[in-house]
Amino acid sequence: MANQLIPDGDTPPARERFRWLFWLLAVVVLACAVGLFARMKNTAPAAPKVEPQLRRWSVATLPAAPTSITPTLPVTGTVVAPQGAMLTAKTAAAVEQVHHLAGATVRAGERLISFDSDIQRLTLASREAQLLSAEAQLAAEVSRAGADRDALAQEQRLQQLAQSAYNRQQKLQKRDLGAQSRVDDAAQGLAQRKLAVIQRQLQISQADSRRNQLQAAADQARSAVELARLDLSHTSVAAPFDARVQSVAVSVGQQIAPGQPLATLYAPQRLELKVQLTPRRLQQLQTAVASGQQNSITASGEVDGTTVTGKLDRLGADIAAGSGVVDAFFQIDGGSAALQPGRTVEMDVTMPALNNVVSMPPAALYGNNRAYLLSGEDDAQVMRSVQVTVVGEQRKAEGELWLLTRSPGFAAGEQLIITQIPGAGDGVAVERVEPVAANEQSAGDMSGSADSGLSTRQQ
C-alpha cells in the first residue's frame, strides 16, 4: 500500500519520509481509540449488586396436638364357610331326580337328590317277612313252654297215683292176696310215669335255650329290617342344615357308587371373612383383645351395592409358612346374601379409640419413624425432626389412608409439616402456609377430610 501512495517519479528519500508519516498516523489513531474506550468505561453507570437469597420451601402444616382418634384398618379378606358339608352316596343306585341345583337355598331336611329305590324296597319287604316268621316261632315256643309246665304238674300227679297203685299191689302180694303179675304191671306203670315226668322236665329245662335261640333269630331279623330301612333312606339325600347349594356333581340317570361325591353345601348365615394380618396389625388386634375390647372391633364394606358388616370372632392359632402372617376371622352379621365362599372383599376394620395420637398423611412421614415440626419465627422458620411411632391407620372420608402416630415431641401449639420436600433435614429453611385452627379439625372423626389441615398461602 505504501508503494501505491508514492507517486511515480518520486525519489527514494521522499518515499522514506512518506512511510514514517504513515506509521505515525496509525499510532495516533490507535491512541485515540484507547483513550476513547477508557473514557467510556470510566463514565459508564455502575451495575446494581445482586445479593444471594436463601431458598425457602413452602410447606403446609397441621396442629400436632395429641388427641383421641378411632383407627381404621383397610383389609382385604376371603369369604369362607366354616359350616359346610360334602354329601356322598351311601348306596349303589341310579340317580332318579335332582331336586335342587347349584345356587339354590334349601331348608334342613329338604330333599336334594333321589335314587332308584326298587331293589331297596323289595329287600325291606323280604326282611320284614323274615322278622314276622321269627317272631311267630318265638311266640309258639313261649306257648309250648307254658303248656309243658302245666303238663308237668299232671305228669307228677299221675306218677303219684302210679306209686300208690304199686305200693298197694306189693302189700296185697305179701299177704298172698294178689298175683305177682299185678305187682309187675304196677311197677311198669310207675316206671312209665317217672319217665314221662323226666321227659317233661327235660323239655322245660331246654325251653329257655330254645326261647333264647328264637329270640336271637327274631332280633337278627329285626336288625335286618332296620338295615333295609336305612338302605331305603339312603336312596334320597337331604340337606343336614339350612344351607345353600354350592355345587352338584351328579345328573339324572347316572349310576353312582358308595362314597361318590354328590353335592356341596354351606350355611350362608355362618359365613366368615378370613383376613391375613401383618405383624404390626396383628399386634394392634391382640392388644385390643387382651384389654377386653374384642366386641368393639368391627368390619364394614360394600359388595355389589350391599353393605356388609361383621365383628371379630377369633384370631388364627398358627402362622402361615413362609409368610409371617396370621389369619383373623370376622363373623359376618349383615349382608351375607351378597357373599359367596371364595370371594375377595375389601373392608375397613374399626378399632378401639387410641389416646394421645396425631393423624398425619403418609407424605408427612420420612422413613419409618421420622417427621418434622415447624420451628422458629415467621421470618426464620426451619424444620425440626422428631421421632414418631406409627400405632394405627385412619380412613378419611375421601378414601385416603392417614397414619396415627405418637411422639414425645407432639404437643399443643406445635405445627406438623405435612408437605414432602426433597432434602428435608433439621434447619432446612421453610415458609409456612397458614394452618387451620385445631378446633376445626375433628380429632376422632373418621370422616375428616384429607385436606382438613391444609391452609392457603399468605399473600
- Burial bucket for residue 263 (CB in 10 Å: 0-12, 13-18, 19+): buried
- What pLDDT was estimated at residue 457? 32
Residue 402 has pLDDT above 80, yes or no: yes
* Distance between CA atoms of residues 447 and 459, nearest Å: 31
Give the pLDDT confidence of 232-267 residue by residue, as tens digits.
Answer: 988 999 999 999 999 999 999 999 999 999 999 999
- What pLDDT was estimated at residue 3? 46
Give the pLDDT confidence of 327-367 residue by residue, as tens digits.
Answer: 899 999 988 888 899 999 999 999 888 899 999 999 999 99
Other Cβ atoms less than 10 A from the Cβ of 218: the count is 20
- What pLDDT was estimated at residue 453? 34
Pick among 3.40.50.2000, 1.10.645.10, 3.30.1310.10, 2.40.30.170: CATH of 76-81+267-350: 2.40.30.170
Residue 405 has pLDDT above 70, yes or no: yes
The mean pLDDT of the chain is 82
Residue 315 has pLDDT above 50, yes or no: yes
DSSP conformation letters of 84-129: EEEEE-SS-EEEEEE---TT-EE-TT-EEEEE--HHHHHHHHHHHH
**Domain regions of the chain by residue span:** 1-31, 58-67+355-440, 76-81+267-350, 84-116+235-266, 118-233
Fold for 58-67+355-440, please state it.
2.40.420
Other Cβ atoms less than 10 A from the Cβ of 388: the count is 25
Residue 15 has pLDDT above 70, yes or no: no
Fold for 84-116+235-266, please state it.
OB fold (Dihydrolipoamide Acetyltransferase, E2P) (2.40.50)
Reported as a pLDDT band with limits 50, 70 and 90, residue 138 is confident
Give the pLDDT confidence of 187-237 residue by residue, as tens digits.
Answer: 787 788 788 778 777 777 777 778 888 888 889 999 999 999 998 988 999
pTM of the model: 0.61
Q: Which three cell numbers stand for residue 405?
A: 402416630
* Distance between CA atoms of residues 376 and 185, nearest Å: 148
Reported as a pLDDT band with limits 50, 70 and 90, residue 161 is confident
Reported as a pLDDT band with limits 50, 70 and 90, residue 320 is low
CA 211, 212, 215, 217 torsion: positive or negative? negative
